[in-house]
Structure 1
């Protein structure tokens, strides 16, 4: 006769395969000290999990410098500049280091406007100027907040005019985007229109009088590349006023390529630093040059790589498990230590009470 072995239920099989030792409940002593340590341990574990999960889903940023070997990419220029001269009297152009036209496609528009802002426009521009100056000074303390903000620009565009002035236009708004060669160049706004001369570059200014020059200007936008959260444009919100007709404004710009790695892919943009110089033109006093507004830019040989400081998921899981296990193990040792201290103090107090003599009450004589 063949005896068939009866199969065990699945739940029983799993229970018997439990590799962790079990302690009978009759052997476990439940105390107030152990309960207190357990509550503290649970709170610490919850705080640890919250901290680790928060940092994993919203990590910080790492910034690393490396050499820029990309010589074939293009450089995008975004500009919105208002000059206190009529559009018929000025011309905007860009030359690269080889004194040739620097842009491959795109164009800058020159729209007649009025230099004086209305009240709501002035409030907007002053607020933009104040905010940009503050962020530029405190950038190192706020860079993590700015990069995590998600805002490509912290301020919007200039609001439109509500009333049209009766006087004729006295300013020119130069705005647009150009795609440039990735070499050093010179973007400038000077008096006179650009003359299309082969192999040369010139502006026609022979019919202008000295009192017609006025290079007071306001910069609402000047950036390179695509807009990315966290990058502050130093020249945005800049206004230069002067009563000198012949003056040369020069902005020396150092452009740093920036590569930003995000969940959506890789973005290549640019950030820059700038130095300013304003110099009156007086040929009689030896100060030579051409009056105008010049943005002389150069490309840095180093680039900044911005990545999120996030570890792989398996490393994150191992670190969390190790942290939770360490807290639980430490809490067990702490519970034993606290229990020993409490028992020692209680035992010493009990022995002192037993050593005290009992005073006999006096019995009155009969």
Structure 2
């Protein structure tokens, strides 16, 4: 069996690889440059740089991905965060929760009570109106709230209510209720009504309001914050900035809330919280006109069986590479075609309408004629014309006559000053 020569096999392999070359090099002598092509190249590079910068910024940002699944955390507790002001003294009202399990409200926790003033200062009013305007815009105009609130690097659009910069006058006429309650993850009713609550056997509770005069009823209220679950920075709940004023003592305010469990996993937070939608109704209580009920503020909530998972993700980097290749290659191809079309139009216009001086590219340059006179580099004088000298033949040489013997013969043949006319002899003393 013959042994193959490795050197020969290597050369054949290289020859095959060279034939598959998709990027052949063009010699420099075959390239033709122009000012229009250079200008178009500069514009092309500028466009490519701008698009690359925009693509880098686009793929460096993050987006939110949403998934829905059945909520399996049925034994989880739910936190209610409350901060609101009611236009009644703290000793006249009571706030608690009653859910469908009938569990004693005292096990859910207790809100903090603080005597305050219902009227706001100018600074506090400006803060509260700003919160109200932002919430109104997000609720009515910008529905994709998540794109603004949950992304990493968001800013907290609202904060705490500023303290009073003007000392109040008179006795406090309102009560601030704030804190958190931990309730069962079932439907329930958070309410604020007249009188403190007392437990009732076998279950439930009652509010003692027998000693409260009718003129002391006023359930006008202002909600600074109302949310479910762990607080998430930047999220404005639908009830934040809500303010309802009534001039009727017996008035019922009802909020019907639908809660959706939400799991938020971003680069800035990893929490289990809740979103909710709310519908508000209110009416005056007048038993003689058939409007029955209990004066107060009632927030009736129910939970959805579905859970929303929110994740912050980066766009795939392979898409970035594909788009980069498409941008660079596409712009170069389009600019090349554009340059060719413009050059074709210019040539057609110049030929058809004879605009400018048109010269075909195939026109060869005129041959360069050799000089008929020679000069002495050692002297500034011009040498005489040797065509009239008899000893020097000026007849054209045939093509077959070799030039080297003739030149040698010319160099060996001496010239005599006597054979040259005096008029052709340069003046030696003129130098």
Deviation at 1:309, TM superposition (A): 6.3
* Partner SS for 1:139: coil
Match of 2:41 among 38, 50, 70: 38
Aligned to 1:298: 302
Give 1 or 2 for the bigger CA radius of gyration: 2
Tell me, which stretches of 5 or more residues in structure 1 are unaligned? Answer: 1-15, 355-366
Q: State whether structure 2 residue 221 is matched by structure 1 residue 194.
A: no
- Aligned residue pairs total 339
* Separation of aligned partners in 2, 1:193 and 1:329: 80
Deviates more, 1:124-133 or 1:306-315: 306-315
* Partner SS for 2:314: coil
Deviation at 1:145, TM superposition (A): 4.3
Tell me, which stretches of 5 or more residues in structure 2 are unaligned? Answer: 1-17, 359-431
* Partner SS for 2:236: coil
Deviation at 1:230, TM superposition (A): 6.1
Distance 1:128 1:352, change over 3 A: closer
Deviation at 1:244, TM superposition (A): 1.5
Q: State whether structure 2 residue 127 is matched by structure 1 residue 124.
A: yes
Would you say the 8 A contact 2:104–2:204 is kept in 1?
no
Match of 1:86 among 84, 89, 99: 89
* Partner SS for 1:344: helix
Q: Pairwise CA RMSD of aligned residues? A: 3.0
Match of 2:350 among 342, 346, 349: 346
Match of 1:331 among 335, 350, 353: 335
Deviates more, 1:78-87 or 1:148-157: 148-157
* Separation of aligned partners in 1, 2:150 and 2:126: 26
Match of 1:236 among 240, 261, 264: 240
Q: Deviations over 1:79-114 (max 9, x none)?
A: 111111111111110122223247866531011112
TM-score, length-normalised on structure 1? Answer: 0.81
* Separation of aligned partners in 2, 1:122 and 1:353: 78
Would you say the 8 A contact 1:152–1:227 is kept in 2?
no
* Partner SS for 1:140: coil
Q: Deviations over 1:137-175 (max 9, x none)?
A: 212377644555844641221111234434222211100
TM-score, length-normalised on structure 2? Answer: 0.70
Deviates more, 1:103-112 or 1:182-191: 103-112
Write the mapping of 1:197-236 to structure 2, written as runs, cut at 5 A. Answer: 197-198=200-201, 199-228=203-232, 231-236=235-240
Deviation at 1:210, TM superposition (A): 1.9
